[in-house]
Each structure stands twice: as structure tokens, then as C-alpha cells.
Amino acid sequence: MSFRRYEILLPTRYNDGAPVEAERIDLVLEELSDRFGGITFHPEQLRGAWLHHGERFEENNVRLVVDVEDSPAAADFFVRYKSPFPLGLPCA
């Protein structure tokens, strides 16, 4: 059996700058852990930056890692899970 690793970056702030509630992040962690039997959570802030139409944006994210059996069903789950992102969190 082979495995695939999925890394998900969760934003720590909404687009308006308000902090994402810890409970919302905890719900994502619980949901994925329950579904796949475990996750790894990296709560340290990851800084990101990008340009959009000449304007620079910066953000802080946290990372979670899920190792799952490499299957079409798992791949399909993560494609659907990201868009739209669960619990109304913006994609990072």
C-alpha cells in the first residue's frame, strides 16, 4: 500500500484582518483526524507573500499534514474539500 501526503495551509486571519477563531481551526483538525485516523499540526506561523495586480499581500498561516492511502477516493476528497474551503475559511 502506498501513501500520499497532503499539506494544507490554513489562514490565521480573515480577509478583513480579523483573526480566525481557534475553534474553527480545531474543527478542521478534528474532522480530518476523525476521517483519516490522524494528522500532524504545525501551529507555528508560516509567513506568505504574493503579488496580485502589482500589489503585494502578506499573510500568516498554520500547516497541517495528512498522510493517507494513495487512492482516487482520497484525491477526490481533498479536491472537493478545498473548494470551497470548509467552514467558510478562505483558501491559503
Q: pLDDT tens digits, residue range 17-75?
A: 899 999 999 999 999 999 999 999 999 999 999 899 999 989 999 999 999 999 999 99
Q: Which three cell numbers stand for residue 36?
A: 483519516
Mean pLDDT of 79-91: 63
Domain range list for the chain: 3-88
pLDDT at residue 92 is higher than 70: no
How many whole angstroms separate alpha carbon 15 and alpha carbon 1?
A: 40
pTM score, whole prediction: 0.78
- Architecture per CATH, domain 3-88, reads as 2-Layer Sandwich (3.30)
Phi/psi at 81 (5° precision): -65, -35
